[in-house]
Amino acid sequence: MAICLRRPGVLAPPHTFSPIVNQHSLQRIEVKGQSIKPVITVLLSLFFVAAAHAQADSTLHDTISIKRHWWQPDSLVNKKLSWLPIPGISSSPETGLRFGLVLQYFLNTSTGKDSTKKARDSYAYIEGLYSTRKQTTIESYTQLFTAGEKYFIRNRIGYSDNNERLWGFGNHTVAADAYELVRYSRWYWQASVARQVRNHFFAGINFNLSRTYNVRGEIKDSNLLYQQPGEFGSGIVGAGPTLVWDKRDHPLSPHTGWYGELAATFYARVLGAGYAYSEYHADFRKYVQLHDNSVLAFQGWGSFTGGTVPWREQPRLGNSMIMRGYFGGRFRDNQYAAVQTEYRKPVHRLVTLAVFASAGEVQHTVGDFNFSDLRAAAGGGVRLLINKAKQVAVRIDYARSTDHTSGFYFKIGEAF
């Protein structure tokens, strides 16, 4: 599911890392011939804690009606969902076809008829996916508005046995077919807790911890990872302030309003982490509903770092959310900025068409940004509504870039 918590934001000796848990616990997470049971246990625990938080608010009418079969379009679209177990099928250039199981939980913490206790919908999911590129992902995510939206809480925790393509670093890299394949294992935890100060303005703290290990590459003409920070693995621990303005009418499928987020994360050599650097994150979105119920959406995105940043943690251009059409990580460096716009036009009560365009670039320093290095992409797609009450839709997009690359995306939820 393409909902994501941005790594604040949005998540030295490179060979060692001893985070909060002890070394014996970390050894049990190794993939080769060992157990990842601790990771799965933590994921399940966090997910079901979030699910139980508002179980008391669920009513009997949220259960599946026996009068209609679940596969009938009207039955699913009009149902007041609480639980939605679905086959996890998605596609992107980075992963190829991914399949598995996704269990989603929708909740609302509003209490009574008091308008001060009303809250927008919250949701959580846990997924286990495997891709045709031999990538394994186990992840749990929660986005929760408490009663009266007093608190806005996000939590992402997961494990991946991954491989990705590496073209080098900077805005000018090796040819598209000269990439090297890098394999690694990684576990991560990203969270933020913010309290509403006034009128949907939240202030709080974010936290990011991850460990990348068992890094190995398939070297071609040269070793693109040679002497890069995190060449043999990395551990990071960081925290910092976050500010969020969330005036969207709906968190999953906005039609009106706007969203803004500013965050700073400061990483330190503590708890065994080997890298100290800073990261600054900005995300601004605006939604305008036109007279024919179509929506014009805008987004500006930036991730800026200072210090020695491990290669796996560097901002990267291209993914299923912004700069669609570029392979994720086709260009990566310490600074990244991008903008995009999307027009969404309903053509049927279950179908919406969309066209979009984006532009962005990466650079080593902020002063290096220039228009001559700007890269662009554009495309179109369709959204198929699968539940009206929770505004859940399947998104199918195709995009091409000015570098003659393309991407096909099959996801749950809007890109932004």
- Confidence at residue 73, expressed as pLDDT on a 0 to 100 scale: 45
Percent share of the chain, pLDDT over 90 = 61
What is the Cα–Cα distance from 278 to 132, expressed in whole angstroms? 35
Query: pLDDT band at residue 389, thresholds of 50, 70 and 90?
Result: confident
Residues with Cβ within 8 Å of 46's Cβ and at least 6 positions away in sequence, in order, are: 140, 142, 155, 157
Query: pLDDT band at residue 31, thresholds of 50, 70 and 90?
Result: very low
Report the number of distinct structural domains present in the chain: 1
Residue 403 belongs to a domain: yes
The residue type found at 88 is: G
Nearest one of 264, 233, 299, 361 to 8, comparing CA atoms: 264
118 strand-pairing partners: none
Triad 152, 155, 159: Cα angle to 5°: 170
Residue 151 belongs to a domain: yes
Residues with Cβ within 8 Å of 281's Cβ and at least 6 positions away in sequence, in order, are: 6, 7, 8, 9, 10, 261, 262, 263, 264, 265, 302, 303, 304
- Confidence at residue 18, expressed as pLDDT on a 0 to 100 scale: 36
Residue 11 belongs to a domain: no
What is the Cα–Cα distance from 410 to 405, expressed in whole angstroms? 17
Residue 260 belongs to a domain: yes
What is the Cα–Cα distance from 185 to 168, expressed in whole angstroms? 20
What is the Cα–Cα distance from 138 to 161, expressed in whole angstroms? 9
Residue 189 belongs to a domain: yes
What is the Cα–Cα distance from 301 to 287, expressed in whole angstroms? 15
What is the Cα–Cα distance from 105 to 107, expressed in whole angstroms? 7
Q: What letter would DSSP give residue 216? A: E
Residue 210 belongs to a domain: yes
Residue 1 belongs to a domain: no
- Grouping H, G, I as helix, E, B as strand and the rest as coil, residue 151 is strand
- Confidence at residue 79, expressed as pLDDT on a 0 to 100 scale: 53
CA-based torsion, 143, 195, 267, 228: positive or negative: positive
Residues spanned by the domain of 40 = 23-412
The residue type found at 393 is: A
Interval 131-180: pLDDT, tens: 999 999 999 999 999 999 999 999 999 999 999 999 999 988 998 888 99
Residue 9 belongs to a domain: no
DSSP 10-23: ----TT----SS-H
Is pLDDT above 80 for 117? no
Ranking 39-53, 136-150, 330-344 by mean pLDDT, the lowest is 39-53
Provide the CATH number for the domain around residue 270.
2.40.160.50
Average pLDDT, the chain: 82
pTM for this structure? Answer: 0.77
Higher model confidence: residue 340 or residue 4? 340
Q: Mean pLDDT across the stretch 221-235?
A: 90
